[in-house]
Structure 1
Amino acid sequence: MDPILFDSGLGGGWDIARHASGRNGIDLAGYRDCGSAGLDMQVVPGRSCVMVVDVGDGLDIDTGSDRWAAGGVVTGLSPGAVRIRGSRVDCVEVRLSPVQVYELLGTAVSSATAPDELWGEPVRRLREQLATATWDQRFTLTDAFVMQRFSYRPAPEVVASWERILASHGRVHVGELAQMCGWSRKRLWSRFTAQIGVTPKRAAMLARFDRAVKALGAGMAAAEVAARRGYADQSHLHRETVQFAGRTPAELAGEGNIRSRREPLHYR
């Protein structure tokens, strides 16, 4: 596992832990605000889905079009920045691929929603168990909760298309994917959207954007990001950054409280 990275603006009072699931591709992280620092963070779309179960004072979730208070959040791949606020955060986060979300639910998660709406009483019992558990116990309980619910199988062609999109960093056309699957474009579009939550074209855009966000955060100039990450030009990067994150590339690079869904939540 990578080491825990404490952001320079984090300050004291945060207890952070990380854990690798027994299932490939799933990572867990734990965050506890021990100093009442509070949280106000924007999460932009990426290539991963995120499930957060909070046992603190609850989270305020703002998707721009909807806002609610909940004991956590589950995000899909659907574009649009999600703002998460909390006065005393104490949570476990699970990162999964959209394929794994389908394996859990038998459907895609196309937008942000509360875990209670997806699992009801079982996730409420999990929250009660997490409240008094150590980090090791929390990870064991959460991992078991997830593993016990893998009961659906996505179409192999959909899985292969998703993996091809990731491997190409979004530089693949829908026609190529359809030919690879032996499907018509219409059938690929329909099945992929139903099981991943976005169209193949939008998934490719998000895979490309995910890499662009990481490069901008690492200090790469917008013009260089556009040239190296598959954009037609800097204006193309600008349009998609505003569309997905509600920010310009410069704003996205400069705001430390924005994180891609590809990485565990890091608070400032």
Structure 2
Amino acid sequence: MAGFRQRVPAPVDIAMVAHPSVTLLIDLSDDDGLVYDGQGRRGHGSVVIGLAPGELRASGLVGECLQIRLRPDAATVLGSSSVVSGSVKSLADVWGRDAGRVEERLRTAGSWDERFAVAADVVRRRIGDGPRVDPEVAHIWRRTVAGGGRVRVDGLADEVGWSRKLLWARCRAQLGVTPKRAARLVRFDHAAHLLAAGLPPAGVVAESGYVDQSPLHRDVKAFTGLTPTAVAPAPWLAIDDVAWPDSWRAGRPVTGGAVDGHRTDPVSPNVRRCLDHL
């Protein structure tokens, strides 16, 4: 999780880039605050963003917000796989009246550390009460992330002792995406951060395992609607190294940066960040 604050609430307009996690943006601003626009849906306030939602923008007069990233195998805490798979829903639609109570607790907290503790407690309780994905499905997701999206579906099926057909069916039902699309998203995310770091497309192709620039261009277009050149300066990417400094090692996402669906220990302090923007 990470906390964001502007000392003086100011208009924000950001194109959000797809990420291999389910994201909760909890708006702690006064008045209308955060406005989101994606999938032909426009709303304001706290929002839940599933895997690979396509083009999405966040705007509005934003003062403070808390961002929580959940691995999709832990995100069943939010409800059904429809939340995980590319959907954009208000937090109230997902958590009902409890959403307002959580927001109020977070707003009245005396510090960011207290806010992080409140959020961790809420998610931990919901994980404890919610459904679990199959251990095989959790393993497949971890292997996909650890491999930077460069994994063979047949190989994953052999690892867990499932047929390819069963693997696809379970992943789609419990994660909301097929293994192939999950791998594409993870590899795209790796490539997008390399582009943001200033690596030219040809270098990104070599580092990310693409055959050539054409598949890279295709994936970037599919997940963002933009070209690789246009994605590189995206502010949502540029801030990741500051907000989530422990989520990247050697250009590859590390499993465990978000609340773990199979543990009940508090969120590690090294993933807690509060950024004060002047």
TM over 0.5: yes
The equivalences for 1:234-249 within 5 A come to: 234-249=213-228
Comparing 155-164 with 96-105, greater Cα deviation is found at 96-105
- Are positions 1:62 and 2:37 aligned together? yes
Q: Is the 8 A contact 1:45 1:261 kept in 2?
A: no
The equivalences for 1:115-264 within 5 A come to: 115-134=91-110, 135-150=112-127, 151=129, 152-253=131-232, 255-259=233-237, 264=243
One-letter identity of the residue aligned with 1:138? R
**Shift of the alpha carbon at 1:133?**
2.0
Q: What CA distance in whole angstroms lies between the structure 2 residues aligned with 1:94 and 1:133?
A: 17
Q: What CA distance in whole angstroms lies between the structure 2 residues aligned with 1:29 and 1:190?
A: 33
One-letter identity of the residue aligned with 1:93? Q
Residue 84 of structure 2: SS of its match in structure 1? coil
Q: Is the 8 A contact 1:60 1:84 kept in 2?
A: yes
Residue 142 of structure 1: SS of its match in structure 2? helix
Q: What CA distance in whole angstroms lies between the structure 1 residues aligned with 2:107 and 2:132?
A: 32
Q: What CA distance in whole angstroms lies between the structure 1 residues aligned with 2:139 and 2:238?
A: 24
Comparing 258-267 with 115-124, greater Cα deviation is found at 258-267
Comparing 193-202 with 86-95, greater Cα deviation is found at 86-95
Q: State the partner residue of 1:109.
A: 84
When residues 158 and 262 of structure 1 are mapped into structure 2, their CA distance, relative to the original with a 3 A threshold, is: farther
When residues 196 and 155 of structure 1 are mapped into structure 2, their CA distance, relative to the original with a 3 A threshold, is: same
One-letter identity of the residue aligned with 1:43? M
Q: What CA distance in whole angstroms lies between the structure 2 residues aligned with 1:116 and 1:260?
A: 29
Structure 1: 5+ residue stretches without partners: 1-27
Q: Is the 8 A contact 2:77 2:123 kept in 1?
A: no
Q: State the partner residue of 2:255.
A: none
Q: State the partner residue of 2:267.
A: none
One-letter identity of the residue aligned with 2:89? T
- Partner residue of 1:50 out of 23, 29, 52: 23
Q: What CA distance in whole angstroms lies between the structure 1 residues aligned with 2:158 and 2:12?
A: 46
Higher percent of residues as helix: 2
Q: Is the 8 A contact 1:51 1:72 kept in 2?
A: yes
When residues 46 and 90 of structure 1 are mapped into structure 2, their CA distance, relative to the original with a 3 A threshold, is: same
When residues 79 and 70 of structure 1 are mapped into structure 2, their CA distance, relative to the original with a 3 A threshold, is: closer
Structure 2: 5+ residue stretches without partners: 245-274
Comparing 213-222 with 182-191, greater Cα deviation is found at 182-191
Residue-by-residue CA offset, 1:219-268 (whole Å, 9 max, x unaligned)? 00101101220111011111111111111111111x34243897749889
**Shift of the alpha carbon at 1:36?**
2.7
Q: What CA distance in whole angstroms lies between the structure 2 residues aligned with 1:39 and 1:154?
A: 36
Residue-by-residue CA offset, 1:90-147 (whole Å, 9 max, x unaligned)? 2111111111102453535211211111111111111122223232222121111111
The share of aligned pairs that are identical, in percent, is 41
Q: What CA distance in whole angstroms lies between the structure 2 residues aligned with 1:43 and 1:29?
A: 16
| Count of residue pairs the alignment pairs up | 239
Q: Is the 8 A contact 2:52 2:223 kept in 1?
A: no
What is the root-mean-square deviation in Å for CA atoms of aligned residues?
2.2
Residue 158 of structure 1: SS of its match in structure 2? helix
